[in-house]
Amino acid sequence: MKTIELNEARRLVAEGADMTKEQRLKVQHERLRELVEYARANSPYFAKLYADVPADFTISDLPITEKPTLLAHYDDWVTDRRIHLNDVLEYVNRDASKDTGLFLGQYSALRTSGSTGNPLPMVRDDYHNKIHGQLIAQRLLTGTDGNVLDISKHKRASIIHMSNGASSYGAFNRMRAAHPECANNLLGISVLEPVDKIVEKLNAFQPETMAGYPSMIVQLAVEQLQGRLHVNIKHIVTSAEMLSEENFHLLRQAFQCPVGNNYCMTEGGEVAMTHNCPHLHINEDWIIVEPVDKDLNLLGESEQWSDGVLITDLSNFVQPIIRYHVGDVIRIRPSSEPCCLLPIMEIKGRTFGFFTMGGRSFSVSGLFAKTETWPDVMRFQFVQTDDNSIEVRAVCKKEPEKTLPALCEYLKAFLAEQGCPNGNFTWSTKPFIPNKQGGKIPIYVKL
């Protein structure tokens, strides 16, 4: 396991923010060489994959990797020979509210969503965790009064998907376990709860900082502006979905506080984040982001939207992510902002939003969270056909005529519990409806 002292991690992240573009790219390549050599020496999978990679390689010499292949070779992919797929899955599926110990006594572990295939468990070492922790502390939280983040003095609410294996839920439980004396200052709320219930809990708790999915936090901003929610928030952090510039300013208007947005993924960690501004800046000293077209040709900094992106995390040595292909649709442009000279990433993918049914407002995140683990469902899309009806379009491993009717009844019962008894769900295996502007297939569409 690669480790690092906290002060050293703090120094390296601080240095990166002050580097010129040329200096950052030089450091980036040095870190890439170290990671590749470590992976080749300690991972049987990478040893074979990189057998013909020259000693003086550039990143374009390295093969592209993808989730299904890595998952199929999991035990040979990881660099610690004690790590096995079944053990990691057992760990991430444990009751994390009761067992907050580290995997093998030294690693954190979490899993990706299963909405586009089998969930991928990711193990993270001390080096990754401290570097990415400092990226959050020094970059995402720019402009924040550090005192307000002290949970011994200030209350924090997290509106998240509270299920085992979810990264946000794992982080919440680890914080609660590390600071038992501050338990009364931490509130976890499931994103599956009705908005009015969430508002009721927040009004009673009166948090001073708040974290959650953009689609949910935007709903709460509307509740605040309309007077149903009345909290004095001093800092907000959103992640896992796109936060538009319009909604960034809506949050600031509603809560009158700094807003941070973190583009992160289970595989790559903190890829890009805001720096007290609406735009996502790539942490290119620690993450390599390569936009590609449908033929996997590199686009670089361009006005063209990508058909995918290759991610390399330069800080995870136990489960290396190197040129890992994901389907997010992005483009990169240089920054001209005084707040930060790191390049700006614009993203179209991973936007959920919210919908209205039966005169009530719901987050699409709730339907997503309920559907993503439904047996045999590989991909899905919610198509709202009228004010009270949603069609679930899905690709199933087998027998959609059995799988999808049961899912529809489950979602209907779920909305009934949230105060919408007349919601109607139907199913279909029709093709998904694409984004009208191009890009990733949206999770939710309203006809």
The correct answer on CATH 3.40.50.10860 for the domain covering 354-446 is: no
Say how far apart CA 35 and CA 13 lie, in whole Å: 17
For residue 440, pLDDT over 60 is answered with no
Q: Specify which residues 445 forms β-bridges with.
A: 383
State how far Cα 161 lies from the chain centre. 12
Q: What's the fold here for domain 6-132+264-347?
A: Rossmann fold (3.40.50)
For residue 24, pLDDT over 80 is answered with yes
State how far Cα 206 lies from the chain centre. 26
Say how far apart CA 65 and CA 290 lie, in whole Å: 13
**All residues at 6 or more sequence positions from 213 whose CB lies less than 8 Å from its CB, including other chains:** 159, 160, 191, 238, 239, 240, 241, 352, 363, 365
Positions of CATH 3.40.50.980 in the chain: 144-257
Which residue in the block uniquely carries the two structure tokens 């077209």?
293
The segment with the largest mean pLDDT, out of 79-93, 352-366, 431-445, is 79-93
**All residues at 6 or more sequence positions from 266 whose CB lies less than 8 Å from its CB, including other chains:** 110, 111, 112, 113, 120, 122, 167
Q: Which amino acid is at 271?
A: V
| Burial annotation 305-321 (CB, 10 A radius, 16+ → b, else e) | bbbbbbbbbbbbbbbbb
Say how far apart CA 65 and CA 126 lie, in whole Å: 24
The H or E element containing residue 243 is none
Positions of CATH 3.30.300.30 in the chain: 354-446
Q: Would the pTM count as exceeding 0.85?
A: no
Per-residue pLDDT, 252? 94
Positions of CATH 3.40.50.12780 in the chain: 6-132+264-347
Kind of pairing, strands 377-386 and 360-363? unpaired
From the CB of residue 271, how many other CB atoms can be counted at a distance below 10 Å? 28
State how far Cα 388 lies from the chain centre. 30
Segments in 257-399 forming alpha helices (H): 364-371
55: tokens are 């000693």
Q: Contact at 8 Å (CB) between 163 and 193?
A: no
In which band, very low, low, confident or very high, does the pLDDT at 113 lie, cut at 50, 70 and 90? low
Q: Is 43 exposed, middle or buried (0-12, 13-18, 19+ CB in 10 A)?
A: buried
For residues 85-101, average pLDDT = 86
Considering only the C-alpha atoms of the chain, give the largest distance between any 2 of them, rounded to a whole number of Å.
Answer: 64
Per-residue pLDDT, 71? 92
3-class SS at 94? coil
Q: Which amino acid is at 422?
A: N
3-class SS at 432? coil
194: tokens are 């009705």
Reported as a single tens digit per residue, the pLDDT across 331-384 is 999 887 777 889 999 987 554 567 888 888 887 878 887 887 788 887 788 999
* Strand extents, DSSP E, 59-139: 108-111, 121-124
Q: Contact at 8 Å (CB) between 194 and 202?
A: no
Q: Which of 1-5, 27-31, 319-323 has the lowest mean pLDDT?
A: 1-5
For residue 292, pLDDT over 80 is answered with yes
Q: Which of 58-67, 148-157, 209-218, 352-361 has the lowest mean pLDDT?
A: 352-361
Per-residue pLDDT, 57? 95
Handedness of CA 233, 236, 242, 243 (dihedral sign): positive
Residue 437: HSE in the Cβ half-sphere, 13 Å Cα cutoff: 9
Which residue in the block uniquely carries the two structure tokens 């899993």?
111
Say how far apart CA 132 and CA 137 lie, in whole Å: 9
Multiple choice CATH, 144-257, 3.90.470.20, 3.30.930.10, 3.40.50.980, 2.160.10.10: 3.40.50.980
Say how far apart CA 306 and CA 326 lie, in whole Å: 11
3-class SS at 313? strand
Q: What is the share, in percent, of the chain residues with pLDDT greater than 70?
A: 94
Q: Contact at 8 Å (CB) between 317 and 427?
A: no
For residue 436, pLDDT over 60 is answered with no
For residue 116, pLDDT over 50 is answered with no
